[in-house]
Structure 1
Amino acid sequence: MLYATPNLHDADQAVLAEIGEMRDRLRLHLRTPRRWEGQLRRNLTARAIAGSNTIEGYAASVSDVEDIMVGEAPIEANDTVAAEIEGYRQAMTYIQRLAEAGDDFSYSKGLLNSLHFMMQGHHLLKRPGWWRSGPVYVTSAEDPTIAAYTAPDPEQVPALTGELVEWLNEGDLDAPGLVRASMAHLNLVAIHPWSDGNGRMSRALHTLVLAREGIMAPEFSSIEEWLGRARNTYRYYDVLAEVGGPVWTPDRDTLPWVRFCLRAHHQQAQTVERQVHTTREVWTGLEQALEQRDWPDRMIYALYPAAMSNRIRRATYQADAELSEQQAQRDIRELVRAGWLTAKGEAQGRYYVAGPDLPEEITHGVREPKPLRDPYA
């Protein structure tokens, strides 16, 4: 028996409808391919990866995650954090591919274990891709000697994961995709099938279910960035404890968990919608500024990350703009001389940020904070 999908109330249906409207608007924005879409997708993927790993104590900046995604050594993250980020990146990349796998796709125990191995393959002593053979306790944040949750006995894991796989393929198919994804997340994290990496796997499964339901591409639908914010992380653990109980108790009410996830999806959709709007405005402003200076429009690939308060490295610009190393170096030197970029760091660690003379009107909207609306308020 798994934790059961709850009946939704009118308030929940209203939140679902609002999320649907935001996603419809986003699909409209993305219907026509645009030059900025690749960098936006990479940034959103990096935010999701950074958020999920931050929850587990492997904090890395979004810029460092983007460096790892394009094959660059991170500037701030240590080797341990970089290995965790790279493992999660591999799993997320595969999830992005599975979103387009067609009707041949099905969930299986092998798929779950394969994703786990991608994430945890660098921890061979923890038997990545194999069910745990011993007990698992989720300890209290206040006192590590107190078990806040005790997972099912290891002998139950194969049967429970099998039941979950069967439900993923055939269960509650008439339920909204966001609700199915939330319940997949809850059940996997409660089963806790592996000795480590269960939280990240559960969040990744949440994203995979959304992708397979056709909600949106994984990078646009994941709530991992939202969950990685400190206040939301605390509430995440609280609601899991409230709904999951101190031990495996699948007859408990799961509506609080689903509402938590719907609020997360609503607020993350607000964030993504604003990010798309800001990207479009900044990109347009940069195109106009480059035209006025009679600079080649390829330079936008170097200026856009800087204008969005991120950093750019020469190798990343070279790849994005499809340039030779020499041409990329010449372009960046020109932008530095003009004060539109500023160099930081030395040698292999050199990167570039917005310079003092990058036109203020281009970056104004990036720095303007706006609150997120609580759909249940």
Structure 2
Amino acid sequence: MGSMLYGTPSLEAIDRAVLGEIEEMRRDLRYRLAETHRWDGQLRRQLQARAIQGSNSIEGYRAGVEDIESIMAGEAPLETSDAVAREISGYQQALTYIQVLSRTSAFGFDAGLLHALNFMMIGHHLDKTPGTVRPGAIYVRNSATGEVVYEGPDAEEVPGLLGELVDWLNEGDLEAPSHVRAAMAHFNLVGIHPWRDGNGRMSRALQTLVLGRDQITTPEFSSIEEWLGQARNTYDYYDALAEGQGGRWNPHGDTLSWVRFCLRAHHLQAQRVQRRLSEAGEVWMLLEERVDADGLNARTVSALYEVFVNRRLRRSRYQLDESLSQGQAARDLRDLTAKGWLTPYGETRGRFYAPGPRMQAIKDEFGARVVPLRDPYRH
């Protein structure tokens, strides 16, 4: 019996060239991450928060990066509703498990693992039978027009298709480049649409897990979820899926346009991560000089870096990052405020710090330098 899944396409010369550039950026990244820097932890957390933000915003669950970082730390967010915070928290749990699975020595894909990840993501919706195969037909509608854009395979076919996908994840096309396998894992899972909810998020997370298993770099550095979650790109993502799927489950081998879409996203996201990494080093050194000149403790750089990358900082975050007492953290933030680095807003529990005039000047200076990303498919 032939395969019932969508087939992995043969690449053309341009695709191999783009893959080569992605590999090169990744080697460079791995080399730079091999040395430890003071800013690594904050950068990793920021990237993970942006991946969670991207994948959830595609489903209409929107939250700011600062709030997502609070949820990740087990704190109450400032602006995000409880309902959205539950989605964020479930997704974070699944992604954290994916980070663990990426490093474990004994590993094999199985349907139980996929169901468990789905349950982690949407277990708070027990009415949606999380972690179990959907009981009936499923139709994906365009949220704007309400028209059906995709019809999944019959419910009774789903267990068999999932079984076949798991076999393929363990044994299939192992000679194909991991970015291509990861893209096909995403495409097949979203096409099978095995659950009543969470299919898109699961498929994006599976793509991240396939890359993570290949020990490329840690998942937060190789995921394209942040990229896919940005307004224009989200439309392109839906178009790429629709073009490959043709409205219903109908496996064929013509999946090159989908794989290209993913390779382009990986290339653009890698350029962005590379830029953030070099910017982190530059900003950190600059802040160290300025803080030193002001006679402030060197540890306060981590508070300033946080408001450089995000809009705001809470005392509890800084306290945790630098292992300080509440009093020490409060004093540092008072000193930074007095020197014009931070501006406090709000009272007591809702209090946070935004960039003060001196910090804003540095943010503006770096913001003005933005060079557009290079589309690897347009030479």
TM-score (normalizing by structure 1): 0.97
**Mapped pair 1:177 → 2:178:** yes
Q: Counterpart in 2 of 1:137?
A: 139
Q: Which residue of 2 aligns with 1:50?
A: 53
**Which of 105, 108, 121 matches 2:107?**
105
Aligned 8 A contact 1:308 1:363 in 2 = no
1:35 & 1:363 partners in 2: Cα distance? Answer: 23
Tell me the equivalent position of 1:92.
Answer: 95
> How far apart in 2 are the matches of 1:261 and 1:123?
30
What is the SS of the residue equivalent to 1:262? helix
Contact 1:285 1:362 in 2 (8 A): no
Per the alignment, in what secondary structure is the counterpart of residue 343 of structure 2? Answer: strand
Structure 1 unaligned blocks of 5 or more? none
For residues 63-78 of structure 1, the aligned pairs below 5 Å read 63-78=66-81
C-alpha distance in 1, partners of 2:112/2:326?
A: 42
Do 1:305 and 1:311's aligned partners in 2 also have CA atoms closer than 8 Å?
A: yes
Q: Does 1:36 align with 2:39?
A: yes
User: In 2, are the aligned partners of 1:342 and 1:354 still within 8 Å (CA)?
Assistant: yes
The one-letter amino acid of 1:154's match is A
**Residue identity opposite 1:202 in structure 2:** S
1:268 Cα deviation after fit: 0.3
- Identical counterparts, % of pairs: 57
SS of 2:197's partner is: coil
Matches within 5 A, 1:325-364: 325-358=326-359, 360-361=361-362, 364=365
- 2:118 is matched with 116
1:9-28 superposed matches below 5 A: 9-28=12-31
Per the TM alignment, residue 63 of structure 1 is displaced from its structure 2 partner at its CA by: 1.3
8 Å CA contact retained: 2:9, 2:253: no
**Aligned-pair CA distance for 1:259:** 0.2
Q: Provide the rounded CA distance (Å) in 1 between the counterparts of 2:183 and 2:112.
A: 21
Return the alpha-carbon distance in structure 1 between the equivalents of residues 236 and 26 of structure 2: 25
- The 8 Å contact of residues 244 and 252 in structure 1, kept in 2 or not, is answered as no
Kept after mapping to 1: 8 A contact 2:55/2:229: yes
Structure 2 residue runs of 5 or longer lacking an equivalent are none
Letter in 2 for 1:308: V
User: What is the SS of the residue equivalent to 2:10?
Assistant: coil
| Cα distance in 2 for residues equivalent to 1:368 and 1:69 | 31
> What do residues 143-170 of structure 1 show as CA deviations (whole Å, max 9, x unaligned)?
21x2111001110111000000000000
Residue type at the aligned position of 2:22: I
Letter aligned with residue 60 of structure 1 = A
Distance 1:198 1:164 in 2: 15
What secondary structure, in the 3-state scheme, does the structure 2 residue paired with 1:339 have? coil
Higher mean C-alpha deviation, range 12-21 or range 329-338: 329-338
Q: Does 1:80 align with 2:89?
A: no
TM-score (norm 2): 0.96
Please tell me whether the aligned partners of residues 87 and 118 of structure 1 are also in contact (alpha carbons under 8 angstroms): yes
Which segment drifts farther, 151-160 or 285-294?
285-294
* Structure 1 contact 311–352 (Cα < 8 Å) conserved: yes
8 Å Cα contact 1:223/1:265 also seen in 2: yes
Distance in 1, matches of 2:375 and 2:12, equals: 17
Measured after TM superposition, the shift of residue 72 of structure 1 is: 1.8
CA distance in 1, matches of 2:161, 2:214: 23
CA distance in 2, matches of 1:310, 1:13: 39
Deviations 1:197-247 (A, max 9, x none): 000000000000000011211000000000001111111111111101211
- TM-superposition CA deviations, 1:296-328 (whole Å, max 9, x none): 111112111112343111000000000011111
1:113 deviates by: 0.7
Equivalences for residues 249-264 of structure 1 within 5 A: 249-264=250-265
Aligned length: 375
- The 1-side partners of 2:144 and 2:280 are apart by 41
RMSD: 1.3
Runs of 4+ in 1 over 4 A off after TM superposition: none
| Amino acid across the alignment from 2:136 | G
Per the TM alignment, residue 346 of structure 1 is displaced from its structure 2 partner at its CA by 2.3
Amino acid at match of 2:307: A
Q: For residues 108-147 of structure 1, give each alpha carbon's deviation from its aligned partner in whole angstroms, at most 9, with x where no partner exists.
A: 1111011111100111111111110011101134421x21
Query: Contact 2:52 / 2:88 at 8 angstroms: preserved in 1?
Result: yes
CA offset at residue 368 of structure 1?
Answer: 2.7
| Pairing 1:185-200 to 2, within 5 Å after superposition | 185-200=186-201
